[in-house]
Amino acid sequence: MTVFINPAVDPGRVTRDPGTATAFHRSLLGYTPTPLHNLGPVYLKDESNRLGLPAFKILGTTWAVEQALSEHPETHTLVAASAGNHGRAVANVARQRNLRAEIYLPARAAPARRRAIESEGANVIMIDGDYEDAVAAAAEGAAKPGRIELADVGSSGPARWVIEGYATLFAELPGRTDTILVPAGGGSLAAAAARYGAAHGARIIAVEPETAACVTASLRAGQPITVLTPGTSMAGLDCAAVSPAAWHDLKHGIHATVTVSDTEVNAAMRQLAASGHSIGDCGAAPLAALRHLDQDLLRDDIVLIATEGITDPDAYKRTVTAHGVGD
């Protein structure tokens, strides 16, 4: 476990979100704000059912696709790399808009997540490598006429639009939110949190796996760097590098980072399950991080962003029943 205080935080330099994505999402059929559960001393923003999918990713994808199609109406295929949730969101939006989807997954992606993406009608291509290898393969696969890469990392337009799309999650928070703990993989969601924090005076703390702490390493170095990623049960956070589109806002808008282990996250999942909340590994990471933070770093009205529900049912069952929870 590592707690890192960011010396470069400067809310005045953080990008101001225009709010256009939030207005777009509110116009969608079936849109409703996700719930905010009272856990006693903290609140849990529960993204286990967002527009019919078990994760927040659909917010970034719907907005990015809307923007991409307005610029490239000839598009017939959406291409993306994913560890699971983003790929399913892209496949879901492609199906709704009568487009094809081609999703690249790293070899260690859970079979259940692959099946979920295929259930949306997408063509799934497994890559013999890690997430960054899948990203490279997706970029190559998208380099054909009529195709566009819906990346949630990188420096492209879609990577920037994804961050804008995630703003809706934070726009749903109550007027007074002092501290937000948010999972950070490649940093896109954390960048959206940083924008919200800068605009509303909230302190943003990013949470990462201790085996894939690219945001912490980059903030410590003062520039984006790549880390080794031997693997983690927090599949959506298993990222070796920060997204270039997110870096500026991470550097100036993240107050601190915390790294957590798979063991700690598994315990947090069981704690949430015992309280009646079915939250996956990535979504439970903020609760695992909370116990490592001193009170002088935290402020009142703390919100934990639970980014996903059950996306790998077998692994979730093994985790929550390991100590008798959920039997």
Give domain status of residue 251, yes or no. Answer: yes
Q: Where is 194: in which H helix or E strand?
A: helix 188-200
Residues above pLDDT 90, as percent of the chain: 91
Give the model's pLDDT for residue 275: 95
Whole-angstrom Cα distance, residue 117 to residue 111?
A: 10
Domain hosting 150: range is 58-158
Of 137, 158, 179, the residue at which a domain comes to its end is 158
Same domain, 208 and 293: yes
Whether 326 maps to a domain, the answer reads: no
297-311 per-position pLDDT tens digit: 787 899 999 999 999
Residue 325 lies in a domain: no
Strands laid side by side in the 179-183 sheet: 3-5, 256-260, 203-209, 179-183, 302-306, 42-46, 36-38
Rounded Cα distance between 237 and 103, Å, is 18
Residue 116 within a domain: yes
Residue 151 located in a structural domain: yes
- Residue 323 binned pLDDT confidence (cut-offs 50, 70, 90): low
Supply the pLDDT for residue 327: 46
Summarize pLDDT for 2-32 with one digit per residue, the tens: 999 999 999 999 999 989 999 999 999 999 9
Asked if 107 and 29 sit in the same domain, the reply is no
For every residue of 125-136, DSSP letters joined together read EEESS-HHHHHH
Question: How far is Cα 143 from Cα 275, in angstroms, rounded to an integer?
Answer: 47
Closest CA to 253 of 190, 184, 171, 299: 190
Beta strands 302-306 and 256-260 are unpaired
Statement to judge: residues 125 and 221 lie in one domain: no
Which residue in 145, 170, 148, 143 sits closest to 158, CA to CA? Answer: 148
Residues 180 and 302 in one domain: yes
pLDDT at res. 325 = 64
Is 131 a member of any domain?
yes
Confidence (pLDDT) at 1: 82
Q: Where are the beta strands (DSSP E) in 210-324?
A: 256-260, 302-306
| Domain count within the chain | 2
Distance CA 11, CA 167 (A): 16
Last residue of a domain, one of 158, 175, 206: 158
Q: Kindly indicate the confidence band of residue 321, based on its pLDDT and cuts at 50, 70 and 90.
A: confident
Q: 151: which 2 tokens?
A: 């990346």
- Shared domain check, 222 and 314: yes
Domain end marker among 118, 133, 158: 158
Task: Give domain status of residue 89, yes or no.
Answer: yes
CA angle 181, 183, 188 (to 5 degrees): 115
Let me know whether 103 and 44 are in one domain.
no
Do residues 288 and 236 both lie within one domain?
Answer: yes
| Residue located via tokens 């993204």 | 47
Say whether both 84 and 14 belong to one domain: no
Structure tokens at 121: 């009608």
Same domain, 287 and 172: yes
Indicate which CATH number applies to the domain containing 143: 3.40.50.1100
Answer whether residue 236 shows pLDDT above 80: yes
**Are 194 and 113 within one domain?**
no
Give the pLDDT confidence of 63-96 residue by residue, as tens digits: 999 999 999 999 999 999 998 899 999 999 999 9
Enter the pTM of the model: 0.95
Say yes or no: 197 and 50 in one domain. yes
Cα torsion angle, 250, 252, 253, 257, sign: positive
Choose among 81, 149, 89, 138: nearest CA to 109: 81
The confidence score (pLDDT) of residue 324 equals: 64
pLDDT of residue 300: 82
Element (H, E) at 104: strand 100-106
One domain, residues 187 and 302: yes
Q: Is residue 327 part of a domain?
A: no
